[in-house]
Amino acid sequence: MGGAAATGAPPAPPAVALDSIGQPIGPLTDPDTQVTDAHGVAPGLQDPGEKRNAPPHDLVRFPEKSEAQVAEEAEAEARAEVAQGAHESDEAHAGMTVTTEEPALGGKAIEVTIYEPVPGVTPAELVERLKASGKSSAKVTRDDHSRVPATSPNGPSPEAPSTGDEAGTAAFAGPDDCTNGNAVWWTCLPAYWTNNGYTDPIIRMNDHTSAAWKTADATSLWNAVPNIQFNYIWNSCPFMAGARCVDVWNANYGNTGWIGEFSYLLNASDTRKLYEPNSTYPQQVRLNDWYNPAGGAGYGAFSRDTVVRHEVGHVTGLGHNTSGISDLMFAQSGFATATGAQNAALVANVYSIAR
């Protein structure tokens, strides 16, 4: 009888876990096991390829822009939307955001996580999956706040003060505005990174991901926006007074319904400020390897470049854009790779003053 399987015995598990189209990937990972030492180093990571030696930012491919450039581009984008009758998208899920909120650090902070549903999963479906996994605070909201309309044929919105420039929202948006055209902030009034003595807030993206995720490019893309500085660093984030670390992870997190998430901490006593007990306290971006960019298993195709650039957009403070899937900050990833002019203008506005 040697070698015969016993009747009713369960099938042997596959030797290697598979992704959404049956390609082999690593075993299922518990996010709570992804930790670094005091210097931001995580052990046992995959070889990331060229990005291991990537500079803090690539100013050749992603040159920094001025406030004037960003404002002009936002006004042009707003005019184009009005001309096309596309000021606010009629697409399903425009501006919709799935979040969870949990008390953290003994009540000193509130941990907020923003989720990006994989194409093929609606925000409402993702909420149900999260609740089934034990995240009872999961909810879906519409990120429009009290939004400032984009340019209209009659000039600037009567809801906002005119500066004498009749071009559009970028001319009169300010540091306490939570919208700019179709761009929307995390919160209203905006929660923000403080300067901590620097001209611009400094955010270091501590990348622990594989070569499949181009975190260095995403970091340089958002560093080009004025008034906030992003530095790329591979698997290391030593103490730097006044600067922050945001850890970026990838793994097979399973068929969760989300392809990317960003978790941040708000100060429970002042929810306009991020909780920063020290300069290296990490916020977290996670990128889910289970979903293959080709789609499969009932899920749509997407670009991993878009996903990681979208998540770093959340790190700036942006919520989900109320435009359509052609925008990088739309609720579900497609194939956009540019920041979007109104998104960039809102970031530049919020950080236009030192705080």
Please report, to the nearest 10 degrees, the dihedral formed by the alpha carbons of residues 206, 240, 228, 213 taken in order: -10
Residue 21 lies in a domain: no
Q: Which structural domain, as residue segments, surrounds residue 83?
A: 50-153+165-350
Confidence band of 352 (pLDDT split at 50, 70, 90): very high
Strands 17-18 and 24-25: antiparallel
Residue 190 lies in a domain: yes
Tens-place pLDDT, residues 307-337: 999 999 999 999 998 887 789 999 888 899 9
Q: Which pLDDT score, from 0 to 100, does residue 333 have?
A: 82
Are 126 and 97 in contact by the 8 Å Cβ rule? The answer is no
Q: Which pLDDT score, from 0 to 100, does residue 157 have?
A: 34
**Which phi and psi (to 5°) does residue 109 adopt?**
-140, 165
Residue 287 lies in a domain: yes
Residue 9 lies in a domain: no
Residue 13 lies in a domain: no
What is the rounded distance in angstroms from the CA atom of residue 121 to the CA atom of residue 299? 7
Confidence band of 19 (pLDDT split at 50, 70, 90): confident
Q: For the stretch 60-73, what's the b/e string if a residue is b when 16 or more beta carbons lie within 10 angstroms of its beta carbon?
A: eebeebeeebbbbb
Q: Which pLDDT score, from 0 to 100, does residue 38 have?
A: 87
DSSP state of 266: E
Q: How many independent structural domains does the chain possess?
A: 1
CB-based contacts of 98: which residues, under 8 Å, 6+ apart? 114, 115, 117, 123, 126, 127, 130, 138, 139, 140, 258
- Asked whether the predicted pLDDT for residue 159 surpasses 50, the reply is no
Residue 86 lies in a domain: yes
What is the rounded distance in angstroms from the CA atom of residue 167 to the CA atom of residue 71? 10
Residue 284 lies in a domain: yes
Confidence band of 201 (pLDDT split at 50, 70, 90): very high
Tens-place pLDDT, residues 61-79: 999 999 999 999 999 998 8
pTM, entire model: 0.86
Compute the mean pLDDT over every residue in the chain, rounded to the nearest whole number: 83
Q: Which pLDDT score, from 0 to 100, does residue 105 have?
A: 87
Residue 11 lies in a domain: no
